[in-house]
Structure 1
């Protein structure tokens, strides 16, 4: 577990925290969160309730620039997207010889001012290799990047030191199937909540969310939080509850 002391908080500067969900196109939400909302308006509906969303489709296939422009146009002026890096880079090439793939992906991004961090999720079988990580970090462009390893071997100062040297955030991940490595390595923090008991399913209790709120408060820096417990619709409710606990019940654009 990565939890600290359970405490509900108020008065935290809301402009430092972006809370949202990992993706938005879930048929499971149709009869709940999206009840009565046409599918073409799902993104704008969710963006009216949260401050950020992770784009996941970029992980599976290259997205055309016009898609990013369309998504940006459907969200409020101060909205921010995080974008998941392609599995071609992280899972197929496993961070090796990625120059061309990385260049193609970066050229596709067309979010403008709504571009937030790039998320690099590693496969569970990828062990920590200092030289490999160093080489990959060295080719990343300027901007905010977040690294989500899923192997216990990354729980080492050598890994944390590399991220700090490049101001790259380690992703604190809560899930039952891969390690929760609690470390803040950049001038911003990145948290993914995948479901504590059942991966992508289980809802977080108010007590658990209070514990995460305390941790976010103690980090005392810009923080991006994404709920990935999407399969039964808990993500949206949990996101709104965590925002209230942190004293930011609704986005500033509401």
Structure 2
């Protein structure tokens, strides 16, 4: 199955009318898409009650891609709010237990920062992360091009396959070394992840801009770009049972429209979605 969705459910104004409250946005979101990325888990390990509420507000077949906490991927600035690394991972595992119990956890996404390059120490840390996550499906996304240069590309893919990582394939500006090319190779037969970050080269290379998040993901894919990706997705689906496609170009409100556009190109009409709320008038 090809699962198309968005990163987060709060910032997609084109999906929600004035009748949809912030508390009901996920339920409305699930009437359009069968999967979503939980990005709030990156900024703070979420209370168990949040996952319980979110799984309860979505259909039985709905799937969550949960982003790993920033302290687990080296993004954290300053001291971690945990006494040990083990305590941090244990807290995260507890926070995602409701997704597992509801059979709604597609994968946990480990997105590493641009300074996480291809070194022996970092390879060892990836093994450590995978061991701590036990049997939970985990996707791996890099932001440093060294992992996929001519010297290490095949070794990186082989490592991901051997260690049972799900490949997170990115569409993003080619601003080396702080970005990676789209390597269209799933390393597992069950799941592969594609994340659309947009192609805003200027925004991607911004430095010392307090509004860098708003600028970086400001991009709207055109019809030709999505048609090209539709062919890539079809080929990936021939090799992999489940292809997860998430649009992260949220800054200008383009993600939801682009996701719907891609669904139309691929001829996808999902069943078993949540019932859609209707405006009173």
Counterpart position of 1:189: 192
Does the 8 Å CA contact 1:243/1:250 hold for their aligned counterparts? no
Counterpart position of 2:118: 128
**1:233 CA drift (Å):** 1.1
Choose the corresponding residue for 1:170, options 167, 170, 175.
Answer: 167
Q: Which has the higher contact order (CA 8 A, sep 6+)?
A: 1
Q: What is the TM-score when the length of structure 1 is the normalising length?
A: 0.85
- Are 1:35 and 2:17 counterparts? yes
Larger Rg: 2
- Report the Cα distance in structure 2 between the residues aligned to 1:236 and 1:191, rounded to whole angstroms: 15
Counterpart position of 1:10: none
Choose the corresponding residue for 1:210, options 214, 220, 227.
Answer: 227
- Report the Cα distance in structure 1 between the residues aligned to 2:22 and 2:76, rounded to whole angstroms: 35
**1:58 CA drift (Å):** 0.3
Counterpart position of 2:93: 106
Counterpart position of 2:80: none
Give CA-to-partner distance per residue, 1:178-206, whole Å, 9 cap, x none: 22241321221100001123531211111
**1:40 CA drift (Å):** 1.9
**1:113 CA drift (Å):** 1.3
Say which SS state the counterpart of residue 37 (structure 2) adopts: strand
- Are 1:153 and 2:146 counterparts? yes
Does the 8 Å CA contact 2:32/2:273 hold for their aligned counterparts? no
Q: What is the TM-score when the length of structure 2 is the normalising length?
A: 0.78
Counterpart position of 2:251: 231
Say which SS state the counterpart of residue 132 (structure 1) adopts: helix
- Report the Cα distance in structure 2 between the residues aligned to 1:163 and 1:93, rounded to whole angstroms: 24
The more displaced of 173-182 and 223-232 is: 173-182
**1:213 CA drift (Å):** 1.1
**1:161 CA drift (Å):** 1.2
Counterpart position of 2:134: 141
